[in-house]
Amino acid sequence: MVSTEKQKLVQELTKDIKEYSIVGVVNLENLPASQYQNMRSMLHKKGVKIRMARKRLIEKALTESKRNNIGQLTEKVRGMPALIFSNDNPFSLYSTLQKSKSEAYAKAGQTAPKDVVVKAGGTNFAPGPIISELAAVGIKTKVDAGKLAILADTTIVKEGQVISAKVAETLKRLDIKPMEIGLNIVAVWENGFVFDSKSLHIDEAEYAQNITLAASWAFNLAVEMAYPTADTTQVLLQKAFREAKAVALESNTLTEETRNEILAKSEREALSVKKEANL
């Protein structure tokens, strides 16, 4: 029989699901309690609410909310789940959570959040037992100037694979921190659509670069087709002036702008003829 406390929690979760425009599922697995409290406080200041509950209670609240297509979120509840609520937008929420994360060393038994790659290049290790330790996890090395060097980029753990004790120790010795401590957003619901975490990831630097590049292409096209806008008018006038002046100079048409250059050109030609004729 469901306890009164659990019923109350489901009712509160259902109420939040109905009131907020954005409902997300996060996984709190491997997140220290102290950091969770700090993040919860930080998110509260941004108008973001987070509620922990057992998987079964979260699924029940999602179902009872009866919001359009929100049942798809029940398939995303995993690990140590919690629901997160916001009235902003899914991409902004994802970005906020990502920026609040910090790097950490891997521990045995954890699942790799992405491919873990050891880059080629020099190390600070002198030749010794470390050679066989690295070889045991698939890393090939050579001795270069008295130190070990890794021969090629090596993926030692694939995304989703469990990290072994041997790999975790090797990564720590190489000072590689593949784990991220923070709120791992699994999926977000908005207006009947469910976005998984990969769909929400946007490289902001690349996005800004693409906008700049698109603006540059649009500007060049507008100038090329002589399309006047607030941004291109001055450039078009300067271009038209240069082209008109070039035509005038070529046809020796005297104007206030071409007079000096045509006279100078005529003088140079006259001096050249005089020199050739020995006059």
- Do β-strands 116-118 and 154-157 pair in parallel, antiparallel, or remain unpaired? antiparallel
pLDDT of residue 30: 74
What DSSP designation does 119 have?
Answer: P
Q: What is the pLDDT of residue 168?
A: 92
DSSP state of 71: G
CA separation for the pair 104, 10 (Å, rounded)? 34
- Tell whether the torsion through CA atoms of 205, 206, 211 and 212 is positive or negative: positive
CA distance 160 to 114: 7
Rounded to two decimals, the pTM is 0.58
Position 1 scores a pLDDT of 39
| Residues 6+ positions from 154 with CB-CB distance below 8 Å | 117, 118, 120, 138, 139, 140
> What are the structural domains, with CATH classification, of the chain?
4-101+182-201 (3.30.70.1730), 116-178 (3.90.105.20), 208-276 (no CATH)
**Residue-wise pLDDT tens digits, 88-111:** 888 888 888 888 787 888 889 888
Rounded CA-CA distance 84/38 in Å is 15
pLDDT score recorded for residue 16: 94
Taking 50 as the pLDDT cut, the residues of the chain under it are 1
What gap in Å lies between CA 222 and CA 41, rounded to an integer? Answer: 50
